[in-house]
Amino acid sequence: MIITRKENVLQANFKLPEEMLEQSRLAGLDEDKLYFDGAVNSKMAEYAREGLRYIQSKSKKGEQYPTIYAYITSPGGIELYGLEIHDLMRVYEMNGVIHGVVVGHACSAASMFILQGCTTRSATENSTIMCHDGGINFGDEVVTRKMFEDPEWQDKVRRGFERSDAWALKILKNRTGRKVSEIKKLLKREEFLSAMEAYDFGLLDQVIQFREEKPPRRRATDKKASVADKKGAEPAVTEKPSEAE
């Protein structure tokens, strides 16, 4: 943790070391767990590829692959890598099961591809799900004004959007059972859905609801004090009678 002072206000910048994050993800593989936290990128795709391969190797020939729990907390990222993770999951599910669990939020490529690649899709009751129209990634290519004015480059962008939308529509239609027109409206709204709203639309199979804890029982003295306060009087105090002289 790094603590600094700015404009007479203490500020703390806390960030887990990358090595610690890697160790926690690797430890999860021994328990058949995958953690898709952070941006969807090439590093996450590599983690999914090698993680699934490692868990698959723990089963003997002819046996079903171990059941996996995939925990998703991601703002999204590059859809090409999201699609890669989606397809890796679908291949694994030819002989195994992956339970996807959203904890916090799953947006963009995380909700449209990674989550939809899981056998079952669930989310905690306070999670948010967001889907939107596809984007295009140009890698390290710098977009210039000249490129915008180039008809060939404009055609490349148009085809990229069409291809991206086709991927999303196909996957979401198969998993939600909704009409294409309904899915297009959802993508254009770019709306953050609650877990229940996502469940109603078909993006989830289950919403995990937390058990409501009962408040601790109040002591008798606390109850008497509360009653006295409501009456606008001082709480009654019982004094020990003095001994007769």
Q: How many domains does the chain contain in total?
A: 1
Percentage helix, strand, coil, to 5, in the chain? 45, 20, 35
48 inside domain? yes
Q: Alpha-carbon distance 64 to 98, whole Å? A: 12
pLDDT mean over 10-19: 56
pLDDT in tens, 41-88: 999 999 999 999 999 999 998 899 999 999 999 999 988 899 999 999
Question: pLDDT for 188-227, tens place per residue?
Answer: 888 899 999 999 999 999 999 988 767 777 665 555 555 5
The candidate with the shortest Cα–Cα distance to 116, out of 172, 36, 188, is 172
Residue 212's domain is classified under what CATH number? 3.90.226.10
φ and ψ at residue 204, rounded to 5 degrees? -130, 155
Residues in the chain: 245
pLDDT at 239: 46
Structural domain boundaries enclosing 87: 17-228
In a domain? residue 10: no
Structure confidence at residue 158 (pLDDT): 74
Q: What is the pLDDT of residue 117?
A: 96
pLDDT score for 7: 52
Residue 9 inside a domain? The answer is no
Residue type, 209: Q
Give 138-177 pLDDT, tens digit per residue. Answer: 554 555 556 667 787 677 777 777 777 888 899 999 999 9
Name the strand (E) or helix (H) holding 52: helix 42-57
pLDDT (0 to 100) of residue 145 = 58
> What's the pLDDT at 80?
87
What is the average pLDDT value for the chain, to the nearest integer?
81
Q: 122 in a domain, yes or no?
A: yes
Which residues, including other chains, have CB under 8 Å from residue 78's CB and lie 6 or more apart? 40, 41, 42, 109, 137
